[in-house]
Chain A
């Protein structure tokens, strides 16, 4: 059986975003070290989501100054600052590299 040629298909696989950025009280990006390859809309959405979580927690009397969202392959760390937040995006290296 001959080798099946892998056709060149569209769509490069996206790498996970990494870096840090600051947002204002409305979640708009103020400054950022996130690479430009990461869509600005995605970074903005992360910022707004974080700000919403902080504000909602305050209303529910669960206020906090730091939040960490753990995903299977990614981590978002956010610290509330005066007038906004600083957000760190960290792709995770999984502990196990072999199949389960």
Chain B
């Protein structure tokens, strides 16, 4: 069967494994179901072959389900995960969702509950479109489609768009785009920033008629300008223009891949370290990039391993606050590490929020 889904079932109870394996195999999509009775073996199976879905218990000896989740979510961000447990503790439910599971289910106890569970699994397996990008909220439309829809219908609303930890807003009044905000950006800059996000979630909020107008271009003009700017940036990246910016000097050259990131408020230095440690780093405004890169890699690795031991989930961000300057460090599984330095007068909350925006832009 083409594109057959593969499910990995993890539970230390053999009876449960046998029962659920039979149930899941009987689903209309007839997935292949593999089983594991330990977290370590489940992780080994995930490493050796691709799976569409992991269904895991929580309470297991040696490596409990939360520890498995902390490791698996970091290594396989696209994998769908369901917790299936008899544990009814709100703290563990919250932790499981914070660790990035798609669903948290109490183990079904009667025929009706089993049917609901099966319907849920089938529905989750069908939602492949979500892994292809696009914006959830209206059957994976692009952001440009959504904005054009609002403008063509001459409606008034506030579009709230979120992408991971960052979010932005676009104010539409009677079909006209009047304002936008995203992090430290506002107006047209914020609009272009939001348009550069390739995927995320959107929400339509009630109109805000009192919002002052800061964008005066037509919607079509804005969309064309943003599309042109994105094309130019894409062409620069694909032509391999990632020249090392001069250390400790002024603004990054227009050709540097870091140039778009330097315009964020308060940025004093940038350092990017590819996931492949043999590949060269890129830096701007930093005198000792090599030493800083070695420290950043070691810090990310050490704190990441610590988080797995604690069962705390993925390391999202590390920030440091000093008398001379502040800095922040974030990592991406495929892209590598990004370290940014900020002026010391920038408030702590601003450092963390700005870093989220810079990181989102860098990953995109």
Residues in B whose Cβ lies below 8 Å from that of A72: 70, 73, 98-100, 312-314, 316
Total number of A residues with any Cβ neighbor in B under 8 Å = 48
Residues in A whose Cβ lies below 8 Å from that of B222: none
Of A4, A45, A100, which is in contact with the most chain B CB atoms at under 10 Å from its CB?
A: A4
Q: Which B residues lie at the A interface, using CB under 8 A?
A: 12-13, 15-16, 19, 58-62, 64-66, 70, 73, 86-87, 89, 91-95, 97-104, 107-111, 114, 287-288, 291-292, 294-295, 298-299, 302-303, 306-307, 309-324, 326-327, 341, 352
Interface flags, A55-67, vs B, CB<8A=1, else 0:
0110111111111
Is B312 a contact of A14 with CB atoms below 8 Å? no
Determine the main DSSP class of A at the interface with B.
loop
Given A4-B15, A56-B299: A100 touches B102 (CB 8 Å cut-off): yes
Given A3-B110, A94-B94: A73 touches B312 (CB 8 Å cut-off): yes
Closest Cβ of chain B to A59, distance in Å, is: 7
Closest Cβ of chain B to A44, distance in Å, is: 12
Is A13 a contact of B87 with CB atoms below 8 Å? yes
Residues in A whose Cβ lies below 8 Å from that of B100: 72
Is B15 a contact of A66 with CB atoms below 8 Å? no
Is A99 a contact of B103 with CB atoms below 8 Å? yes
In the assembly, what is the distance between CA of A28 and CA of B100, in Å? 33
Interchain CB contact (< 8 A) of A67 among B19, B109, B316, B319: B319
Is B16 a contact of A13 with CB atoms below 8 Å? no
Is B60 a contact of A9 with CB atoms below 8 Å? yes
Indicate whether A37 reaches chain B with its CB closer than 8 angstroms.
no
Is A92 a contact of B302 with CB atoms below 8 Å? no
Is A12 a contact of B59 with CB atoms below 8 Å? yes
Of B61, B316, B322, which is in contact with the most chain A CB atoms at under 10 Å from its CB?
A: B322
Complex A-B: 22 CB contacts under 8 Å: A1-B111, A3-B109, A3-B110, A4-B107, A9-B13, A9-B61, A13-B59, A13-B66, A14-B64, A16-B95, A53-B303, A56-B298, A64-B320, A68-B319, A69-B315, A70-B352, A71-B316, A72-B100, A96-B97, A97-B94, A99-B97, A99-B101
